[in-house]
Homo-oligomer: A and B are copies of this chain.
Amino acid sequence: MADPRFYSVGGPLTLRKLAEISGAEIGGPADLEKLFSDVAPLEVAGPDHVSFLDNIQYAERFARSKAGACLVRPEYSDRAPKDMVLLLSDEPYRGYALVARAFYPAPVPEAGVAASAVVHETARLGDGCRIEDGAVIGAGAELGDGCHVSANAVIGDGVSIGSGTIIGACASLAFCTVGARAIIHAGVRIGQDGFGFALGKEGHLKVPQLGRVVIGDDVEIGANTTIDRGAGPDTVIEDGTKIDNLVQIAHNVRLGRGSVIVSQAGVAGSTVVGEYTMIGGQAGLTGHLTIGAAAKIAGQSGVMRDVGPGESVGGSPAVPMRDWLRRGAVVDQLAKKKDK
């Protein structure tokens, strides 16, 4: 299914294996040895493909799909086409992810340093690293085993990177340490000095930024995202946090473990975000805030006050989600009344 110029599929896999990998239960009698060749979206899948239904908005596609097997929540099983084998799971998307990873295991990059890459003589590379053309690795930098530095990326002096981490094309890292198995996408900027000025009519005086960026294990950072280094304290991105494209993380920010920051959001200086927080797209958080664990910040909201653990907020300025919805309803009602 996937374009062979870009992907090569493994498999095939038996139904038995698919159930085992995904942790799903097979809905009804089925041939456990039946072979499946690939994953595919509902609308294009055929009899030897595995698909999934996660978003109920696509139930119609599910009902009409020709997929041979499908990961789906038990409650939707009655909408399935007659010949489809159901892989029942409360987390069909996670199940699909596991199956897709089995069909398409992450390719192991071919080790070696490209001829046009420049690795400083004092830099240390672990075993099996791949350094592509035009990449530049500075003095004293240290890379763990199996790192993959893509073409034209720049790793600054003294930067340390854990094992199995991938650095995208044209990304630049400086004044930072990165954990293991992180994915830093193309064009990411890490470690430039933050926006620190003592403002004044006689000229804005640049304040030396003396901290670092400290990035944990299993962090993912989206394309063209920018993360400034700390002013004195460090900027910290804890383990397992996932950041989307074009996000701005200012100096001294701390993002707790497992947080998710959607595209084009921005977090201003010194704000501390608790673990497993969700920040919607284009949301903005001002500086020096404390955001509690598992808080939810709606897209485009403008957070100007602390948010408690587990709280949901929306609007600009952001208020508790319930208040935001209520305000919208009140204004809507007034406008309609006016209109009569």
> Residues of A with Cβ closer than 8 Å to B?
1-3, 5-7, 39-41, 44, 55, 57, 91, 93-94, 96-98, 100-101, 103-104, 114-116, 118, 132-134, 136, 140, 150-152, 154, 156-158, 160, 168-172, 174-175, 183, 185-187, 189, 192, 195-201, 203-208, 210-212, 218, 220, 222-224, 226, 228, 232-233, 240, 242, 244-246, 248, 250, 258, 260, 262-264, 266, 268, 276, 281-282, 284, 286, 288, 299-300, 302, 316-317, 319, 323, 326-332, 334-335, 338-339
Asked whether, in the complex, the Cβ of B338 is within 8 Å of the Cβ of A331, the reply is no
Please pick, from B134, B206, B319, B323, the residue contacting A97 in the complex, using a CB distance under 8 A.
Answer: B206
Asked whether, in the complex, the Cβ of A326 is within 8 Å of the Cβ of B338, the reply is yes
Q: How far is the CA of A57 from the CA of B2 in the complex (A)?
A: 52
Please pick, from B172, B183, B189, B264, the residue contacting A264 in the complex, using a CB distance under 8 A.
Answer: B264
Contacts of A264 in B (CB 8 A): 248, 264, 266, 284
Q: Copies of this chain, how many?
A: 3
Give 20 CB contacts A-B under 8 Å: A3-B212, A98-B205, A134-B134, A134-B152, A134-B154, A169-B172, A183-B206, A192-B222, A195-B244, A203-B240, A223-B228, A226-B245, A226-B246, A246-B246, A284-B300, A286-B299, A316-B316, A326-B339, A327-B331, A327-B332
Q: A185-B192, A331-B331 are in contact. Are A168 and B158 (CB under 8 A)?
A: no
Q: How far is the CA of A326 from the CA of B335 in the complex (A)?
A: 6
Please pick, from B5, B98, B224, the residue contacting A187 in the complex, using a CB distance under 8 A.
Answer: B224
In addition to A94-B200, A150-B172, A197-B260, 11 A-B residue pairs with Cβ atoms within 8 Å of each other are A2-B210, A5-B157, A5-B158, A101-B206, A118-B134, A156-B169, A169-B172, A192-B223, A224-B224, A327-B332, A329-B335
Please pick, from B7, B114, B302, the residue contacting A299 in the complex, using a CB distance under 8 A.
Answer: B302
Asked whether, in the complex, the Cβ of B205 is within 8 Å of the Cβ of A94, the reply is yes
Contacts of A1 in B (CB 8 A): 210, 232
Q: How far is the CA of A134 from the CA of B288 in the complex (A)?
A: 39
Please pick, from B40, B245, B260, the residue contacting A204 in the complex, using a CB distance under 8 A.
Answer: B260
Between A203, A205, A244, A248, the greatest number of chain B beta carbons within 10 A of the residue's beta carbon is seen for A248
